[in-house]
Amino acid sequence: MPIVQISRIQNRRGKATDLPQLAAGELGWSVDDQKLFIGNGTVADGAPAVGNTEIMTAGTSAFTTALTHTYKGYLADSTPIVTGASGDVSRTLQKRLDDYVSVKDFGAVGDDSTADVVAIQRALDELYSDTDQNDTRARRTLFFPAGTYKINASLTIPPYAHLVGEGPDKTIIKNSASVPALVTEDDDGNVYGDIGNAGATTPTQIQISNMTIRTTVAYGALSIDNATKVFVDNCKFHGSYVAGGTDSANSKGVSVRSTTALPCANIIFNQCQFQGFARLVDMSYDATNIRFTNCDFNTAYYGAMLGEVMDGSTNGLTKGPRDIQFSGSSWSTINQQAIWVKPAAGADAGTGARNVISYGNWYALDVANSNEGIGSIREVPVLQYDNDECSSVMDFFERTDLRRADGSSELNAAPELQGIGIQTKAIKQATLLNNTSSATTINEFPALAGKGLVIKYKIVRGTLDRTGEFVISASTTAVQYDDTFTESGVDIGVTLSATLDNKDSTAGSETVSLKYTTTNSASTDATLDYQTTIIA
The domain ranges of the chain are 6-66, 100-240, 244-249+276-426, 428-535
Q: How far apart are CA 451 and CA 475, in angstroms?
A: 7
Nearest Cα residue to 409 out of 400, 418, 417: 400
CB 517 within 8 A of CB 428: no
In this predicted structure, the answer to whether residue 409 has a pLDDT above a threshold of 60 is no
**Amino acid identity at 272:** C
φ/ψ (deg, to 5) at 77: -70, -20
Nearest Cα residue to 91 out of 76, 75, 71, 113: 71
Q: What is the average per-residue pLDDT within 54-68?
A: 73
DSSP character at residue 362 = E
pLDDT digits (tens, 9 = 90+) for 496-518: 999 987 776 666 557 888 999 99
Residue 100: C-alpha distances to residues 5, 92, 164 (Å): 50, 14, 11
> Quick check: do 100-240 and 428-535 share a fold?
no
In this predicted structure, the answer to whether residue 342 has a pLDDT above a threshold of 80 is yes
In this predicted structure, the answer to whether residue 65 has a pLDDT above a threshold of 70 is no
CB 291 within 8 A of CB 267: yes
Query: Which of 214-223, 240-249, 347-356, 419-428 bottoms out in mean pLDDT, i.e. has the lowest?
Result: 347-356
Nearest Cα residue to 310 out of 368, 357, 263: 263
Please state which CATH number belongs to domain 428-535. 2.60.40
In this predicted structure, the answer to whether residue 240 has a pLDDT above a threshold of 50 is yes
Q: What is the pLDDT of residue 123?
A: 95
Give residue 116's pLDDT band: very low, low, confident or very high (50, 70, 90): very high
Q: What is the average per-residue pLDDT within 354-359?
A: 94
pTM for this one?
0.82
Q: What is the pLDDT of residue 403?
A: 47
pLDDT digits (tens, 9 = 90+) for 125-169: 999 986 556 788 888 899 999 999 999 999 999 999 999 999 999
Q: What is the average per-residue pLDDT within 481-497?
A: 94
Q: What is the average per-residue pLDDT within 296-312?
A: 95
CATH top-level class of 100-240: mainly beta
b/e burial code for range 504-519 (CB count within 10 A of at least 16 → b): eeeeebbbbbbbbbbe
Number of C-beta neighbours around residue 110 at 10 A: 23
